[in-house]
Structure 1
């Protein structure tokens, strides 16, 4: 393994004996090329590197090679964790046992983006004629005026700096937001603006230490108390522009004032937290009274009354679960969620959770396959909460199906759980949003009740355990929600 880690080529090993051929090993070069860390790679199928770009013909070549147990070489478009495209030259070869059965596949990956870019630029240059130069010159003035009008009308403050951090230009939004004039800004050092108001340590850190090695920088928060306009919370995007001629090495900073938005979010979170706590106490009392009534029912009571009381208990429990989710979300937002780590039998806990869900549903059969581990250190109640949520969703959103599958496995030094349904599926444009709090898919929102916080809570619980939760889905073909948890206790101690 040390030899593989020293290779400049990305190397992965996938397990053909497990469903969906998951990655069980990757070397350091693979992490560097893709931008993902090991815990975000292990357990995934290689297709996650194509993100939404799933219509490449090379994928069919790979599928056919896996199906037939053959080696192949393809060049395809992959995407790093930050979304950057890179061209991947992939050599894939099967590893067979003594009987000739394919057990594993090894993939060797090389980033050939520069070569592909050079090829594309060469083709482009062959198509470009000298006659276009005059046309470019003619339209240059129009383009400059057009861009200038855009800069002046955007609803963000924009600042252009030279390499020495002197202000070259600002737009009207900047002047209005920070109550300064052009003569006070242009040609002056950014830190000196407003008699030193912009001498902000976080801003210096961004421009002098972060931007030179990480271009561009996006969504960098800066909080500062300005003497004249008060405390501002700003979201900065900074980009070092490297163009030819007079615009070379310019720095563009876009500043979004999110002070009011963050305050609204804080008030909303406070309201949800207070409301949830206030509802919890009377609801607990109501739940207790319903249970007492169910125990003290006289023998001659009517079936209709019994049915009403039973439904009341069901809806009280449903409301109790909803409030519990709201409280969990509130604790997550404020950073007060606590993990009570103990060593427990993971497989047994999952089986018991499945049995409880199975006892409550008559429409679906839940099938468990495989095994992960009988010893895991973590918060058992939170892990069970994740399983309950994923199973409830699988049943809820597959009304036309009668089966849900749970697969347990150990992948390298991670345990993996996958919950697969044959239901509605999720459109690819919605998949990246479903773990956001309060997000609900349009069609689902119309057909099924809910607040869109369950998956958000689940993802945060898994993150707090040092793991990763993700979804694989095709619209109309069902969904598979999977998560991995590190078995190495040092890696699982993520707060």
Structure 2
């Protein structure tokens, strides 16, 4: 009786202490993360507010990743090997390492890693504490640089001061896109020849005038005002801001606007460069292509359905002992299924582009859905074995059909792109407010420069498309489905060493 009371008191004590611990961690000015050493790839399962502030990433973008994602493409730092050895040996370590924020900015991180053990002495977690020491490192590097390179710095500054109006204008005129140079009050200082040709104006119609007053105020465009009066003053460059406008003399134009505020010396201090790319024809071609895909996929569906019916009739009528005919029919069925899948993907792409991809939310057993999908893929693949480890234990509220499509696509790709290997590995886990799915193969791998593009529509890696059939739609559809569920999907890969595709889905409170 006394022992039970003691255990109950300990439980209540722990329940009271846990919120205080998390509050203390969130109050820390140092970035803190906790990783789960029992799960594949040691994923992050907790981060405090300071870690989000230092790195610029939100918790949804952090959870489920390995800490190395902060090194971006810089994977050859010697410090990484020291960290890897410390983790393998289960010991603590403090290092200084170059990391990158979400916006790409470099920062120096003083990282301390400590192992956490359970009662059996097993290392279950690692805790990482990081401090941004960029100011100190920058000061050290700046002092060293200035001490060794004073004369060079003076010469470079002197060279920069030689910038003059003729040189400045020559650069502007060589740019093929339409370019406008504005002063801080948005008065036009100069435009290039491309702008004059595209919008059918003369220098006297533009130079010296307020941008929004040009051509009887035909440049008084809401989207352009937002760009120049709201976004740009925050000192952030504006990239690929799309605006559509119907001009009186040249018709409707779709434009990509890029704006940068620059500060030069002397007379050219504080200028705004506005680049205007006319993408009207490109958007028109894309729309025609999307319309064609939509129409073609719908039109192909009807005869394919009829062919399916004929094949089924043939299978019922043909004799069982005609092996050759049976083989031909079976191959026909396989090709029809392949064509049917292609048409479904075309229809999905068409729906996504038109904003009509229907996502139906209902509760379902996430783990069972994954098992059923893997079983179906395994049934059609005799050469590979699909292993499944872990579980989430979550009844998820989402579109089971579409998420099964994502899982099936990732598993099929892992098999397809690792023909010489015989096994792929699927991992399920539940993290802080998320469920995570990962699949690892030992196939051809993907180069770093291609990893962000593999989720683009119709994009296929050059070396892969020469060896493997496909249209580059599957991963694009997967990403769109995961985004519709407020999740994230990504890939980690080394060329020739295989790939790991992962996605996380947030768990709603009621789940």
TM-score category by the smaller chain?
A: over 0.9
Give distance in 2, aligned partners of 1:238 and 1:135: 27
Q: Which residue of 2 aligns with 1:202?
A: 223
Retained in 1: the 8 A contact 2:161–2:265? no
SS in 1 for 2:341: helix
- Change in 2 beyond 3 A, CA 1:146/1:290: farther
Retained in 2: the 8 A contact 1:398–1:421? yes
Confirm whether residue 339 of structure 1 aligns to residue 352 of structure 2: no
SS in 2 for 1:128: helix
- Report how far residue 468 of structure 1 moved: 0.8
Give distance in 1, aligned partners of 2:164 and 2:111: 41
Give distance in 2, aligned partners of 1:101 and 1:406: 24
Retained in 2: the 8 A contact 1:73–1:92? yes
SS in 1 for 2:201: coil
Q: Which residue of 1 aligns with 2:184?
A: 163
Residue range with higher mean Cα deviation, 149-158 or 463-472:
149-158
Give distance in 2, aligned partners of 1:169 and 1:72: 57
- Report how far residue 111 of structure 1 moved: 2.6
SS in 1 for 2:233: coil
Q: Which residue of 2 aligns with 1:95?
A: 116
Retained in 2: the 8 A contact 1:343–1:375? yes
- Report how far residue 247 of structure 1 moved: 3.2
Give distance in 2, aligned partners of 1:299 and 1:59: 62
Q: Which residue of 2 aligns with 1:419?
A: 439
Give distance in 1, aligned partners of 2:135 and 2:205: 44
SS in 1 for 2:34: strand
Retained in 2: the 8 A contact 1:167–1:189? yes
Give distance in 2, aligned partners of 1:131 and 1:110: 33
Give distance in 2, aligned partners of 1:246 and 1:98: 71
SS in 1 for 2:286: helix
Give distance in 2, aligned partners of 1:325 and 1:139: 54
Give distance in 2, aligned partners of 1:460 and 1:275: 22
- Report how far residue 29 of structure 1 moved: 2.4
Residue range with higher mean Cα deviation, 417-426 or 102-111:
102-111
Of 194, 199, 220, which residue of structure 2 is paired with 1:178? 199
- Report how far residue 94 of structure 1 moved: 2.0
Retained in 1: the 8 A contact 2:235–2:261? no
Q: Which residue of 2 aligns with 1:452?
A: 472
Give distance in 2, aligned partners of 1:18 and 1:383: 22
Cα-to-partner distance string for 1:145-203 (whole Å, 9 max, x where unaligned): 55543321222122222221122222221222222222222222111112211111221
Pairwise CA RMSD: 2.1
SS in 1 for 2:137: helix
Give distance in 2, aligned partners of 1:134 and 1:416: 55
- Change in 2 beyond 3 A, CA 1:129/1:51: closer
Question: What are structure 1's unaligned runs of at least 5 residues?
Answer: none
Retained in 1: the 8 A contact 2:424–2:442? yes
Q: How high is the TM-score relative to the length of structure 1?
A: 0.94
Retained in 2: the 8 A contact 1:93–1:107? yes
Of 11, 32, 51, which residue of structure 2 is paired with 1:30? 51
Retained in 1: the 8 A contact 2:373–2:408? yes
- Report how far residue 334 of structure 1 moved: 0.8
Retained in 1: the 8 A contact 2:320–2:326? no
Give distance in 2, aligned partners of 1:290 and 1:455: 31
- Report how far residue 243 of structure 1 moved: 3.9
- Report how far residue 129 of structure 1 moved: 3.9
SS in 1 for 2:147: helix
Q: Which residue of 2 aligns with 1:219?
A: 240
Retained in 2: the 8 A contact 1:241–1:247? no
Cα-to-partner distance string for 1:114-168 (whole Å, 9 max, x where unaligned): 3333333322222334477467646865887555433212221222222211222
- Change in 2 beyond 3 A, CA 1:227/1:304: same
Aligned length: 490
Confirm whether residue 41 of structure 1 aligns to residue 62 of structure 2: yes
Of 233, 240, 265, which residue of structure 1 is paired with 2:286? 265
Confirm whether residue 10 of structure 1 aligns to residue 31 of structure 2: yes
Give distance in 1, aligned partners of 2:192 and 2:362: 56
Listed as ranges, the matches of 1:263-342 within 5 Å are 263-300=284-321, 302-342=322-362
Of 354, 361, 377, which residue of structure 1 is paired with 2:381? 361
Of 113, 116, 129, which residue of structure 1 is paired with 2:134? 113
Of 456, 461, 471, which residue of structure 2 is paired with 1:441? 461
Give distance in 2, aligned partners of 1:469 and 1:416: 10
Q: How high is the TM-score relative to the length of structure 2?
A: 0.91
Of 405, 408, 414, which residue of structure 1 is paired with 2:425? 405
Give distance in 1, aligned partners of 2:160 and 2:483: 51
- Change in 2 beyond 3 A, CA 1:46/1:132: closer
- Change in 2 beyond 3 A, CA 1:468/1:198: same
Question: What are structure 2's unaligned runs of at least 5 residues?
Answer: 1-21
- Report how far residue 102 of structure 1 moved: 2.1
Retained in 2: the 8 A contact 1:364–1:404? yes
SS in 2 for 1:60: helix
Q: Which residue of 2 aligns with 1:19?
A: 40
Give distance in 2, aligned partners of 1:267 and 1:14: 48
Cα-to-partner distance string for 1:229-253 (whole Å, 9 max, x where unaligned): 2221111111121344433322222
